């Protein structure tokens, strides 16, 4: 069996994701589709609107054959690390090709990757965010800048793919209609994830019915939906009670930012107020949300970097095809394979994901890890 990979968040799964899945199957000709999906905490530094088990279920119902989790120590990182984690897992699973959306799929990402590799020293001259450093170096090397989120992520997939012993075939496709951050539903069939979440929180079910599968709409209408404000009291407590030294050790915390976050946590009325008070020209909102996530989950830079050297394959669900593919590749896997968390794993190999799940569970109310077994489409809800 040949497999095609998708690196996803499905926050939540909408018609654009379903189109992506259909195109991946068609363009690759693969027998099996494998989605590496972020867990309960996402790349933009925010909690998922629906928990990872619900989103894995929706992915299987949409036609994905095998869903595995992107660990929190990669899922909440800038684009280059987010891409590296997902590509590494797909490579370990022996996936042949990776299909992903880009704003400009016609760009020669492979040429840009090669050109930038020859100018890596350029990164050392910019005291700014990774995206700013990256684009400055890329422009110096090629004359090109990538200003769209998925174009930059596409580039990072190419960089990560070059690290594999057996690189995959990479296939960029055109994103459909809705811009990545478009906040309103303006199309009868496609909408951005941002617009879908906004409509869901506003309970605009009629608007959502045209842009998400019926199964997604059902889950949005019946489940408790998570957002940052739900976790604000917990984050505020962490920031006010942790020492400055402890806060300074959190992942992605910049020097001096811990003082500013501690100060603003004393007066902020909610999460949005807090982020706006902390915001400065030096930091993007996304960067600040990632730091806030690390503070909430007490993820230190040291333990995150250590965990990134010990990646693994955590299975969230599969159908008959996905199960057969797992059976085919499990003897040659280059990463550990886990199907459930027991007491030993929660304290050691999977401790960071267990911690992230426990915090999410405080608001969500449903067990996220301990003894949870992967979904089986044919047995559980097929």
pLDDT of residue 127: 42
How many Cα neighbours within 13 Å face the side chain of 136?
A: 13
DSSP-assigned letter for residue 35: E
Prediction pTM value: 0.92
Strands 66-70 and 169-174: unpaired
Residue ranges of domains in the chain: 3-224+310-381, 228-306
pLDDT of residue 179: 58
Question: How far is 370 from 233, CA to CA, in rounded Å?
Answer: 25
pLDDT of residue 313: 98
Distances (CA, A) of 108 to 113, 135, 138, 170: 9, 16, 13, 11
Question: How far is 120 from 138, CA to CA, in rounded Å?
Answer: 9
**Which residues are known binding-site members for ATP?**
7-20, 101, 150, 175
**Which residues are known binding-site members?**
7-20, 101, 150, 175
pLDDT of residue 381: 46
101: which strand partners?
Answer: 173
**Residues in the chain with pLDDT values less than 50:** 121-127, 379-382
Six token digits for residue 378: 């044919």
CATH superfamily of 3-224+310-381: HUPs (3.40.50.620)
Handedness of CA 177, 180, 182, 184 (dihedral sign): positive
Cis check for the bond before 243: say yes or no (omega within 30 of 0): no
250: which strand partners?
Answer: 300
Helix, strand and coil content of the chain, in percent to the nearest 5, comes to 50, 15, 35
pLDDT of residue 131: 65
375: which strand partners?
Answer: 317
């Amino acid at each position: 069996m040949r497999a095609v990979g998708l690196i996803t968040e499905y926050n939540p799964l909408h018609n654009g994701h379903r189109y992506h899945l259909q195109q991946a199957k068609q363009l690759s000709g693969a027998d099996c589709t494998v989605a590496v999906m972020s867990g309960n905490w996402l790349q933009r530094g925010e909690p998922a609107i629906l928990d990872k088990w619900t989103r894995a279920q929706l992915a299987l119902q949409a036609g994905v054959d095998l869903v595995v989790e992107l660990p929190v120590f990669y899922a909440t990182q800038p684009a280059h690390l987010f891409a590296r984690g997902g590509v590494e897992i797909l490579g370990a699973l022996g996936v042949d090709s990776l299909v992903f959306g880009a704003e400009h799929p016609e760009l020669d990402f492979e040429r840009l990757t090669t050109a930038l590799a020859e100018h890596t020293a350029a990164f050392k001259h910019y005291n700014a965010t990774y995206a700013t450093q990256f684009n400055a170096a890329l422009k110096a090397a090629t004359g090109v800048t990538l200003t769209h989120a998925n174009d930059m992520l596409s580039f990072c997939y190419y960089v990560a793919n070059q690290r594999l012993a057996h690189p995959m075939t990479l296939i960029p496709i055109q994103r459909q209609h809705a811009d990545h951050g478009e906040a309103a539903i303006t199309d009868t069939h496609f909408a951005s994830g941002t617009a879908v979440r906004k409509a869901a929180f506003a309970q605009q079910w009629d608007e959502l019915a045209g842009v998400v599968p019926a199964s997604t709409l059902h889950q949005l209408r019946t489940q408790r939906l998570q957002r940052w404000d739900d976790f604000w009291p917990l984050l505020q407590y962490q920031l006010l009670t942790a020492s400055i030294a402890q806060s300074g050790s959190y992942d992605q915390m910049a020097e001096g930012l811990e003082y500013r976050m501690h100060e603003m946590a004393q007066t902020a009325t909610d999460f949005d107020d807090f982020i706006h008070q902390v915001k400065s020209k030096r930091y993007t909102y996304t960067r600040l949300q990632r730091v806030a996530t690390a503070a909430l989950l007490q993820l230190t830079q040291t333990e995150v970097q250590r965990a990134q050297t010990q990646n693994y394959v955590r299975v969230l669900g599969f159908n008959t095809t996905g199960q057969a593919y797992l059976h085919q590749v499990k003897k040659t896997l280059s990463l550990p394979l886990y199907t459930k968390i027991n007491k030993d794993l929660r304290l050691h190999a999977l401790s960071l994901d267990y911690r992230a799940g426990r915090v999410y569970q405080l608001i969500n109310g449903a067990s996220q890890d301990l003894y949870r077994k992967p979904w089986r489409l044919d047995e559980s809800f097929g």
